[in-house]
Chain A
């Protein structure tokens, strides 16, 4: 026969101050852990949304990022007619030669400036990126020093909206449009005409990468193998999706540190919960004795106190989740040491993350409540009845 839960809940209400304080301590721990998870999830979401499953990124052999890859125009000319590459309605192969460099942007909010990817490409490259659309202004015209900025860039640096100016290379560029691409990292980039930026950097022949679109999944695999094995071309090919997947590694240090901190905090909170529960047990010694006299078994007592601890933890978990909610959809950016540029992302607090938060709280509650509960169960009846 189990002790009704209402006994526990009422007790928690009786000792309001202790309940609230312990629950808040647990809540803070849960909040820290969840905010780290929300950050990582938001970053992963951005990278997952980037990259089309049929697109292939071709880099110079040995290069791991576009920035470090030196891609010759002659190589592009050799590979753009390979079989398996999709064709645009005009008959042109869907192969886009691109130059990626980095531009430092300063603004009144970010006076030190951060680095943003600056990508030169031809209109065929825009067509290959599904979901990419102009939300303000228009696309750049080939042959002109015009640029289109991603939505996140425009949001973080309000001075470079449509009509603003960018300084890179031999002069200023006019910002003529703002683009959006779902949640992908393209929102954190700036696009412009390939030949303009190549001329600026005196890199007419050596660019960064080529983006190809395969006709279907099977040709995609075949193309990747064909390109990687080709000795003459000396390139590495990988699916665009896999390329971005690799970049989620930039969140690894933050995730590690954050979760480590949360783990240590969890130990601290469990001890606090243990403290509270021990105090509750010793405070209610007479009640426990009475319950035993009434016929409740040792295991019923154990279970009861364990549940009380879990209820406390659940309260803490709920408060913790509520504390983290305001973070949802908050925009931030993180830089990458491999690409030297920053990616904007949004914190994502999903139901799954909150579920993890509740489990985490439950775990702390169990750890903190186990010993006090067994202490309560093992009390000698007569000793307990006589205590004060």
Chain B
């Protein structure tokens, strides 16, 4: 096929307008497809930071809206393989305006950085957090977004917890993955709450020693509390994140069906173009055959033309995908994996592969027909 590349290029340039329209249409469809594939990859195949494989979350089995008693922590720590267990409470609330959405958790300062081994923070800031009851730490990304500096006062108005939390920023941590979270102290939150609501948290963050033991540890933790009033559901951190995603509905089906519709549309568009292109050149095919070009050669030239068009569309599509992905990253970070969406090389490669396959598939029927036409019929062909 590559021997005939100059011929293929010339054929594509024959009708510049048609080729440009096809390539552009392909590029747009492929960029959409690429974005969907990138999202699918991020949700279901994304690589977690290696440290995430060592973390599990234990929450109330019935619903994330219900709590677990804080004394569960000691029992969880007794399960073999558990290195540390830290209670944490999602706070929600409002920072200045409701549209300022970012995650806020109340945690135990002495365990936070042990559990989140991928967060790096200067030692003195870590100590400050452990000493200041009203202290809080934020991720670098969040600090940059809102212009926080050490010493700033951050106030959160609660809704699930009807209290106002007055915090002093004592530390900024760096992390490759989730650097847009605010952590403050659980004991401070409990002080503000009425007696009835203290010492209850919505989940425990569990650090284990070995990713291989994740399944076993999750089961054992849940077994521990099987007959208690508040039963737990323990799962790997990633599974927990995805669990929230499934609240949006059948996300997988949604992504897959749109991808399918897109691919099919692309197939139709390219097939349309190729059919037109081949039909114009039936007489040429006759001439080529007379000159001695074999049927397989002609077939590969025609297929090559289609594949070339879609491949170029695919390359441009990859660039558009990168732009779309950057746009998705800017959206409010309600769905965690989306805030760090990247166009992975593997996804880009897959996109190109799909483009070429669709190109080939679209041209098969017209190319086959044209390549097999008897010479005399081809030469006599009038459209």
Contacts and interface: CB of A to CB of B under 8 A. Distances in A.
A275 B21 contact: yes
A256 to B, nearest CB: 9
Interface string B1-32: 00000000000000001100110111011011
Given A18-B276, A21-B272, A332-B249, A68 B64 contact: no
Interface stretch (A139-147, A165-173, A186-194, A350-358): A165-173
B247 A17 contact: no
Contacts of B17: 278
Contacts of A247: none
A150 B243 CA distance: 24
Contacts of A104: 61-63
Interface in B242-268: 243, 246-250, 258, 261-262, 264-266, 268
A272 B268 contact: yes
A264 B28 contact: yes
Given A18-B276, A25-B268, A271 B25 contact: yes
Residue among A25, A70, A253 with the most chain B CB within 10 A?
A25
B273 A275 contact: yes
A114 interface: yes
Nearest to B383: A283
A157 interface: no
A62 B276 CA distance: 64
Interface string A239-269: 0000000000000011000000100110111
Nearest to A24: B268
Interface stretch (B122-130, B155-163, B292-300): B155-163
Nearest to B263: A28
B159 A268 contact: no
A32 interface: yes
A276 B264 CA distance: 17
A307 B32 CA distance: 30
Given A104-B61, A274-B21, 5 more contacts: A102-B63, A268-B26, A269-B269, A272-B269, A279-B18
A64 B25 contact: no
Contact of A268 (B157, B250, B266): B266
Interface string B56-100: 000001111110000000000000000000000000100000000
B348 interface: no
B258 A261 contact: yes
Given A254-B248, A333-B249, A279 B265 contact: no
B49 to A, nearest CB: 24
B334 interface: yes
Given A17-B275, A283-B383, A265 B32 contact: yes
A103 interface: yes
B147 interface: no
Given A68-B160, A276-B272, A269 B265 contact: yes
B138 interface: no
Interface of B (DSSP majority class): helix
A60 interface: yes
Residue among B63, B262, B264 with the most chain A CB within 10 A?
B63
Given A254-B248, A267-B28, A102 B265 contact: no
Interface in A191-238: 201-202, 206
A340 B65 contact: yes
Report the contact-size class of chain A (Cβ under 8 Å from the partner): 35 or more
Contact of B271 (A21, A254, A264, A342): A21
Interface of A: 17-18, 21-22, 24-25, 28-29, 31-32, 60, 62-64, 67-68, 70, 101-104, 112, 114-115, 167-170, 201-202, 206, 253-254, 261, 264-265, 267-269, 271-272, 274-276, 278-279, 283, 332-337, 340, 342
B63 A264 contact: no
B222 to A, nearest CB: 14
Contact of B243 (A21, A62, A112): A112
A23 to B, nearest CB: 9
A115 B62 CA distance: 8
A275 B29 contact: no
B258 A64 contact: no
Interface of B: 17-18, 21-22, 24-26, 28-29, 31-32, 61-66, 92, 157, 159-160, 162, 196, 229, 243, 246-250, 258, 261-262, 264-266, 268-269, 271-273, 275-276, 334, 383
A114 B272 contact: no
Nearest to B243: A112
Contact of B248 (A22, A269, A334): A334
Nearest to B22: A275
Contacts of A254: 248-249
A167 B22 CA distance: 58
Contacts of A267: 25, 28
A170 B18 contact: no
Contact of A103 (B18, B21, B62): B62
A337 B334 contact: yes
Contacts of A168: 62
B61 A25 contact: no
Contacts of B196: 202, 206
Given A268-B29, A272-B268, A334 B249 contact: yes
B32 A264 contact: yes
Contacts of B246: 112, 114, 335
B162 A335 contact: no
A337 B248 CA distance: 8
Given A265-B32, A275-B18, A28 B66 contact: no
Contact of B62 (A167, A261, A264, A268): A167
A101 B63 contact: yes
Nearest to B253: A332
Nearest to A206: B196
Nearest to A168: B62
B28 to A, nearest CB: 5
- Which 10 A-B residue pairs are closest in the complex by CB-CB distance? A335-B247, A271-B25, A102-B63, A272-B269, A25-B268, A21-B272, A334-B249, A268-B25, A102-B65, A28-B265
A340 B63 CA distance: 9
A29 B265 contact: yes
A29 B31 CA distance: 15
B269 A62 contact: no
